[in-house]
Structure 1
Amino acid sequence: MDGNKLELTGKPTPDVPTSYKAIPEADMEEEAVTRPKSLVKSKPATPEVDGADEKMLPKEEEVKVSPNEKQNGDAKLDIGELKTAFVGLTKEELMKYANDPFWVRLRWFLFITFWILWGLMLLGAILIILAAPKCNPPPPRTWWEKGPIAEVDQDSDNSDSIVQKLKDLSVTGVIVSWPDDAYIDFDETHDFIKSLKKYKDEDINVIMEVEAGYSHVWFNKSEYKDPEFSNYYIWQPPKDMSNGEGPHPPNNWVSMNNNSSWKFSDKRNEYYYAPTGQPHLNFRNPNVTDRFSDIINKFLRYGVGGIRLRGASNLLVDEKFTDEVNVQNPGDCVLNDYCFYIHSHTENLNDLGPLLKKWRDVVKNKTDNGPFMISEDLNANIEAYKLNSSYIVDLPLQSHFVFKPNINVANMLHIVNTTFTANNFTWPLWKANSSSEWDIVTYLLPGTPLITPSSLANKDLLKIRDSPSIMRGSFNMYSINEDTVFAFSRVMAGNPGILVAFNPSENRTVVNFPAYVQEIPHDGEVTVLLFTKSYNETDISVNVKYDAKSIPISSKSAIVLSYVPKTE
């Protein structure tokens, strides 16, 4: 090798000094411009070759190096023809298999299998839904639960004008009193039965109030000891008097008019029980019980939709005829006064339940779940009206809400709490008052309002009453602003809450409702739905929203609000 040339291997000749001839810059620039892109620069050769470069190439590929002296050690690499990866069949190739019997059958098999599996999944989903435990909706309220119900006085005018008045009040039922002895022989030609037609023509259900306890129909036969009727009434011999005085009653039972509950029969020489002045029937005799079942059936056949008993509390008396015990603190009551005794042997006896249950079953079986009611308040020995811990009378009457000047929030809380908590009534009958303030309370509490034809019609109040929150909603009551305001809320999921507030005090007050009613958001609003005539706040209007933290309530007034309950 000449002394001015460099070996390609990079090793100098041992005896000749290593040197190279510099390439002019102009030649280098020209070469850089004209150099083909396919040429790859190679690194200067290393003193020792370890074979790593060769291992990086496939064995079957031959790499050719083409030196180029003008490029100062650059070399051209020729690695031959590269192999490409498989990228699938072309359309023309695929079409060769389109009509192949094997692939046609496979496609149909997969298509049918897909839809069979899809149908099975759909069927399975339906079966799961059908087999899942049902969450049954609550049954709809009956006509006597929806109300209101009107009580028509026996002496009131039964003309068409009264019926129209009841229609204006949107009553669903009317209570009328049977004017005669319930056990007389009557049919559809009886004038009172014919008078019921005007109610039925206007789709107003009739609840017949009947006195079951007394009758004169069989008294003469019983007085003469007819074997069939001898035990139809309650008879007792006189008390034994050895001093020669006249006959004395068998015990100290006293009627409500402060007279003895016993009357003497000269024909039978015995006393008969007559707490109302009329001979009382013996309902421990099954034949007498069946007689009244027949009477109920007869009324129901003539179109009556329900039965209300009058005098139910004293239907049964103590079989041993034990003397009554006087009260501990009689006050102004004196001996032989009705208020002087407890009446535990003549009223609300514990075995009253099975008797009433028998008659209730008759009503329920012969009507579309018509009501079986009693006319008295259930405020004493309510256990007598239960059977197996369940009440056997519908719509227990609550007449405590009577508007008085001295009514206060504490009284109202006690009445409502006793009704729903202590007595565990779920849907009582609230006797309404002519005052519009009390109408708002009694119409929107859980229960049915009992009104009269002279009540004032309020379409807005009836519309609120018909809402799901009132018909089915939960109930909570509140004492607000230091027992100044009585309030209660009615809420049903998915519906606006209803809030009723009544201020019985003499002073105006402003209420922060979110501070008392947890369902109302702290920054929430309430919409005014209705207020009474005595509500004289000029800045408050119906159907307008206001801040729930500052709602004024005038003295002796009530207001109805709606709100959006909190979501948990």
Structure 2
Amino acid sequence: MEGNKLELSEKPSADPPATYKAIPEADMEEDAVTRPKSLVKPNAASPEADGADEKMLPKEEVADAKISPNEKQNGDAKLDIGDLKTAFVGLTKEELMKYANDPFWVRLRWFLFITFWILWGLMLLGAVMIILAAPKCNPPPPRTWWEKGPLVELKDDASEETIKKVKELGVTGVIISWPENAYSEFSEDHELIKSFKQFKEKEINVVVELEPSASPLVWFNKSESRDPLFSEFYIWRQPKEASNGGEPTPPNNWLSVRNVSSWKYSPNRKEFYYAPMDKPHLNFYNPRVVEKFSEVIKKFLNYGAGGIRLKGAPYLLVDPNFEDEPIKIPNPTGDGFKEHSFYTHPKTKNVMQLGPLLKQWRFIVKNMTENGPFMVAEHLSNIEAYKVNSSFVVDLPLQSHLLNKPSVNITDVVHVLNTTFNADNITWPLWKVNASSEWDLVTYLLPGTPLVMLESENNKELLKIRNSPSIMRGSFSSHLLNNKTVFAFTRVTAGNPGILVALNPSDNRTVVDFPAHIKGLSEDVTVQLFSANYSEPNVAVSVKHDAHSVPISPKSAIVMSYVPPSK
């Protein structure tokens, strides 16, 4: 035997040739079936011929056998058994138990156990730290009392009857115009100061309107006589070269609204002083003058005022170079430019240095109140003059030039709204409108605070809708419908019903298919409120209506709620 090869040689036999008898084919088939198989057929004469020595290897140890002929020896052949392969079936329980208490494996198991829990704890700690370090998504702060509104303007009337009427209107604050010079001396015994406490007892806040530019006469007299402490309290300029028979000439072409020069001559000082409202105008480029008005603000706030509104703020500063106003409209008569409307007024109105000045006073108001408002009384015609680093320094910019007109073109309304919210980036203006029922519905539900009149009617349902999250925090989208005859807008915030407001200012009844024009509107709406002149018999409050066919009476408005589609 060579290796795993068994060499078989066929040797000649001396016995005589054997003879055989043919076995029937049927017997051969039966014998083939019943006879055990063997890898190598033994000699017929061997005692193991009965197959007892033919044992199969275990199933796992079966090897491939290969017979290869031997060409060198006639009749010789080699049987290649190959390598016997035995499969590993693992350790038995008894064999494993031998290692259970082995010190090496015990230490290894404890090491892996402790390492797992340490890593798990570190991952848990890391997750907590990530959560704590992540920037918070805080809810927006609640609206202030002056943002909730409405507000109402008063002159100097603070009688008990007025206070009662104001309380019935459901307003959150009143704006009272101070009737005297803001720099004059007064005490807490002043009747108007006493009323501050009465308003506060009724949970009504007070905003005091003051005029900074008007001053006591005694200050002017001292300035005119060149008193060192007051000499620069006002705006003084040398006259131009004498003309017209030696009469002093104003230093530039600045005109008042009465179409006369804004300059007045002082014979005592031999100079012109600036007086656009026929009164000497304080010089707010002087830090001492700024500090004087700061003291006035602090005094009113200490007496209980919850906010300050300035009168005449656009005219507080003038061009420090005193250049002429540019011409806007040429004079058709050729008699000279003697009218205020002939000029633009960038030199005397909304001068760019105004923002930093107002910011100083705003800082005082915010620090001495619970985020009380700092306002100006006039409409802002130049938005940039009231900003510092792109941020407004005044609250509730007044929008009064459109919605308070007797007749309003709704195309102009949409234009003004787009300009206010998009171009000027005013997020919460003060809306002043007339006392019509349909416009009240619009004004109360626009982004901003309504400024109502004392004669307005109380509408508790409208106030309830106004205080809803969709009005206080919701997005705003305006639309012109039915060939620009209907003005509509939506207010909606996540997790709350949306509010749909529609106004028909025309003289004709109309029916509106809202979902066809306004994206995200549901198939039906619930009527919440309508104006006094809304007269549709099939429409009732708190009843659902098909959003595809909402009728709107002439010169009326309707307020509806709807369920915004889930995203």
Do these two structures clear the TM 0.5 threshold for a shared fold by scoring above it? yes
Alignment of 1:95-174 (within 5 A): 125-154=127-156, 156=157, 158-174=158-174
> 1:353 aligned to 352, 355, 358, which one?
355
Q: Equivalent residues in 2 for 1:500-539 (5 A)? A: 500-521=501-522, 524-539=523-538
Which residue is 1:233 aligned to?
Answer: 234
How do 1:260-409 residues align onto structure 2 when only pairs under 5 Å count?
260-328=261-329, 335-378=337-380, 380-402=381-403, 404=405, 406-409=407-410
Deviates more, 1:269-278 or 1:405-414: 405-414
Letter in 2 for 1:563: Y
SS for the counterpart of 2:184 is coil
> How many residues of Structure 1 are paired with residues of Structure 2 in the alignment?
504
Residue matched to 1:50: 37
Q: In the alignment, which residue of structure 2 is the partner of 1:445? A: 446
- How far does the alpha carbon of each residue in 1:478-505 deviate from its partner, in whole angstroms, 9 at most, with x for none? 1111101111111111111111111111
The yes-or-no answer on 1:552 pairing with 2:539 is no
Q: Please tell me whether the aligned partners of residues 149 and 449 of structure 2 are also in contact (alpha carbons under 8 angstroms).
A: yes
Asked if 1 retains the 8 angstrom alpha-carbon contact of 2:329 and 2:343, the reply is: no
State the shift of 1:239 in Å.
3.1
Matched ranges for 1:167-182 at <5 A: 167-182=167-182
Contact 1:428 1:448 in 2 (8 A): yes
CA distance in 1, matches of 2:408, 2:174: 30
Q: For the aligned residues, what is the CA RMSD?
A: 3.8
Deviates more, 1:200-209 or 1:47-56: 47-56
Which residues of structure 2 form unaligned runs of 5+? 1-20, 40-50, 60-91, 95-109
Mapped contact 2:285–2:317 kept (Cα < 8 A)? yes
Match for 1:191: what amino acid? E
Partner SS state of residue 33, structure 2: coil
Aligned partner letter, 2:529: L
1:10-69 C-alpha deviation (Å, 9 max, x unpaired): xxxx99999xxxxxxxxxxxxxxxxxxxxxxxx99825332699979989xxxxxxxxxx
Q: Which moved more, 1:303-312 or 1:259-268?
A: 259-268
| Map of 1:80 onto structure 2 | none
> Is 2:428 aligned against 1:427?
yes
Q: Could you tell which deviates more after superposition, 125-134 or 196-205?
A: 125-134
Q: In structure 2, how many angstroms separate the alpha carbons of the residues matched to 1:159 and 1:437? A: 30
Tell whether the 8 Å contact from 1:307 to 1:371 is kept in structure 2 after alignment: yes
Structure 1 CA distance for aligned equivalents of residues 555 and 37 of structure 2: 110
Tell me the TM-score normalised to structure 2 length: 0.79
Q: Which whole-Å deviations, capped at 9, do the CAs of 1:223-254 have from their partners, x for residues lacking one?
A: 11111111111122333224534333333322
Rounded Cα–Cα distance in structure 1 between residues aligned with 2:311 and 2:141: 29
Q: 1:496 to 1:329 in 2, by over 3 A?
A: farther
Tell me the TM-score normalized by structure 1.
0.79
Is residue 444–residue 450 contact of structure 2 (8 Å, CA) maintained in 1? yes
Contact 1:334/1:340 (8 A) holds in 2: no
Give the whole-Å Cα distance in 2 for the aligned partners of 1:243 and 1:434. Answer: 53
Q: Is the 8 A contact 2:402 2:408 kept in 1?
A: no
- Name 1:34's counterpart in structure 2: none
* Counterparts in 2 of 1:277 and 1:16: CA distance versus 1, 3 Å: closer
Cα 1:162/1:122, change in 2 over 3 Å: farther
Give the direction of change, closer, same or farther, for the CA distance of 1:167–1:116 in structure 2 (3 Å limit).
farther
| Cα distance in structure 2, aligned partners of 1:537 and 1:239 | 71
1:564 is aligned to 563
Q: Which moved more, 1:218-227 or 1:248-257?
A: 248-257
Q: Secondary structure at the match of 1:430?
A: strand
Give the partner amino acid of 2:291.
D
Deviation at 1:357, TM superposition (A): 1.2
Change in CA separation of 1:449 and 1:221 when aligned onto 2, cut-off 3 Å: same
Moved more, 493-502 or 123-132: 123-132
Kept in 1, the 8 Å contact 2:504–2:555? The answer is yes
Match of 1:3 in 2: none
* CA deviation after TM superposition for structure 1 residue 409, in Å: 2.1
Please tell me whether residue 197 in structure 1 is matched to residue 215 in structure 2. no
Does structure 1 retain, via aligned residues, the 8 Å contact 2:307–2:374? Answer: yes
Structure 2 residue aligned with 1:210: 210
User: Which one-letter code corresponds to 1:273 in the other structure?
Assistant: Y
> Is 1:403–1:438's contact at 8 Å kept on the other side of the alignment?
no
**Aligned match of 2:539:** 540
Give me the whole-angstrom Cα distance separating, in 2, the residues matched to 1:401 and 1:418.
Answer: 12
Distance (whole Å) between structure 1 residues aligned to residue 180 and residue 295 of structure 2? 16
For 1:455, the equivalent position in structure 2 comes to 456
Distance 2:337 2:122 in 1: 85
Equivalent position of 1:466 in the other structure: 467
CA pair 110-382 structure 1, distance change in 2 beyond 3 A: closer
In 1, the alpha carbon distance for the partners of 2:515 and 2:254 equals: 56
Find the aligned partners of 1:416 and 1:57 in 2 and give their Cα distance.
97
**Contact 1:446/1:470 (<8 A) preserved:** yes
* CA apart distance, 1:117: 8.5
CA distance in 2, matches of 1:479, 1:201: 44
Cα distance in 2 for partners of 1:457, 1:327 equals 45
Question: SS of the counterpart of 1:189?
Answer: coil
User: 1:112 Cα shift?
Assistant: 11
Contact 2:406–2:434 (8 Å) recurs in 1: no
